[in-house]
Amino acid sequence: MTSHPVLAGSDRDSFGSLHRRSTPRPERYRIGKGLRKKAPRSSLATWSSALRRVDAVGVVERTNAGRVDELVPLRIQRMSASPHAFLRGAAALHAADFAVLPETGVHPVICGDAHLGNFGFYASPERELVFDLNDFDEAHPGAWEWDLRRLVASTWVAGRDSGASERRCSEAVTRCVHSYAEQLRTLADQPLLARSYDVTDVDALRSDADHKTGRRAIDKAAERARRRTSDRALPRFVTDDGGERRIVTEPPLITHPDDEHTERILAALDGYLATLPPHWARILGGYHATDVAHKVVGVGSVGLRAYLVLCEGSSPDDVVFLQLKQARRSVVAPFVHGDEAWHAHQGQRVVEYQQALQTVSDPLLGWTTVGGRQYYVRQFRDMKGAIVPDTLDAPALADYADVCGKLLAKGHARTSGASMIAGYLGGGGRVADALCAFARSYADQTEADHDALLRAIRTGRLSDRTPEQVPGGAIG
């Protein structure tokens, strides 16, 4: 039941025009409220396996295409660890499922992969620790409902994985949805510029936590994040090879490409510098790239090419680690506008939509191309850290889901349609009830999909056996 966006320009990128008067905010609220006829709020509860149009294991197989063959079994291994681990790697499956469900047609920029594990800590340009959405590989204009559905589904599945009761899972989802609705309503009433300055730092995060265990989880994760810096990464990731620093080799997780591919990556960094603001390009131009390695990251990203580059400044402790991560077309895109890609460079898409959704972003975000493949570039170990949702007790999970709902609303409100979404949601009570029903049903579906993955491994359809070593140069 996908549909065209409500307002022209709310789906595809549009900067608007200073010569054209925008639709007044009360009218936008009215439009949003009227969308309840098109997509009743009760329809957000909709899910049953009969609605599915794809085979779950088949989607996993299709999304393995184009990845490093030797690493695909590691992706399967990580997705098989638990239902929540499966969910983390199943963004493409969720996009296919959600595309057949009712939606309002309001299309801001969405994360496209808004599960609980894709929120986290990182450093602002002022070196303050902030908390926000932090994964944008699938970011794209699309239905806001898709992000919220994925978030509440991951909340229920994470709750089950950590042993929470169904009542506790429902409480966590309810808090998440109410937080989303309240924040959307608050930001929709603010000037456009004012809502773009909303930042959640550690103090704000702690103040939103109602329970001691939630605050303790925040404190531990924040402390770990503060220690994750480039200089502190030196002993962990770098060895001294006859006076020359080299990134350690730990097959199959960290390997070195061959000399030819290393040179192509290093050459591509010059193109990356051209995508940075002039000030940051000058700063980074004072460093010298000395080594490159391929480093496996994440769950859904395993098998995509992700390179770690060691850059040295004018003193031994002056180092920066850059990460080049392969960017492919968003899994959301085909369900929004069909087969033809809107974006000429997928790395640029990731960077620009990350900057749209985050209040503050890594100042070294940029993009480049290596051997015909497109990448985005960011800092590695820049005070990045996360709260692991499926290890939280029920009160802490509810606190965390509340914060994630608020941050998701903030991201959506920064791009398009906040007043219309707020008008549609109203107080949030009916939407919370509907999405609790959906999250429980989709948690059942996720557990069934995880079981199907395990069967595919047992029968040999998929392999989770990783090689002891990826040959040098195999990753290119």
Name which residue leads in pLDDT, 281 or 199. Answer: 281
Query: If DSSP codes are grouped into helix, strand and coil, which group holds residue 357?
Result: helix
Rounded mean pLDDT, 432-438: 98
Give the model confidence (pLDDT) of 252-296 as tens digits: 999 999 999 999 999 999 999 999 999 999 999 999 999 999 999
308, β-bridge pairs: 293, 323
**CA 318 from centre of chain:** 30
Give the model confidence (pLDDT) of 330-376 as tens digits: 999 999 999 888 999 999 999 999 999 999 999 999 999 999 999 99
Rounded mean pLDDT, 28-35: 96
- Hey, where are the domains in the chain? 25-226+388-458, 227-379
CB-CB neighbours of 194 under 10 Å: 10
> Would you state the pLDDT for residue 384?
87
pLDDT at 468 over 80: no
Nearest-angstrom CA–CA distance, 276 and 157: 39
Q: In the block, which residue shows the tokens 């460093």?
A: 287
pLDDT at 473 over 70: no
Cis peptide before 395 (omega within 30 of 0): no
* Position 10 confidence tier, pLDDT thresholds 50, 70, 90: very low
pLDDT at 8 over 70: no
| β-strands 366-370, 373-379 pairing | antiparallel
In sign, the C-alpha dihedral spanning 141, 355, 147, 407 is negative
Give the model confidence (pLDDT) of 167-193 as tens digits: 999 999 999 999 999 999 999 999 888
pLDDT at 472 over 50: no
Contact 169, 440 (CB under 8 A): yes
Buried/exposed code over 257-291 (b: 16+ C-beta within 10 A; e: otherwise): beeebbeebbebbeebbebbeeebeeebeebebbb
Helix%, strand%, coil% for the chain, nearest 5: 50, 15, 35
| β-strands 109-110, 140-141 pairing | antiparallel
CA triple 378-384-388, angle to 5 deg = 130
pLDDT at 469 over 70: no
Nearest-angstrom CA–CA distance, 230 and 216: 26
> Would you state the pLDDT for residue 241?
76
pLDDT at 221 over 90: no
Mean model confidence pLDDT for the chain: 91
pLDDT at 383 over 70: yes
Kindly state the helix (H) or strand (E) to which residue 381 belongs, with its residue range: none
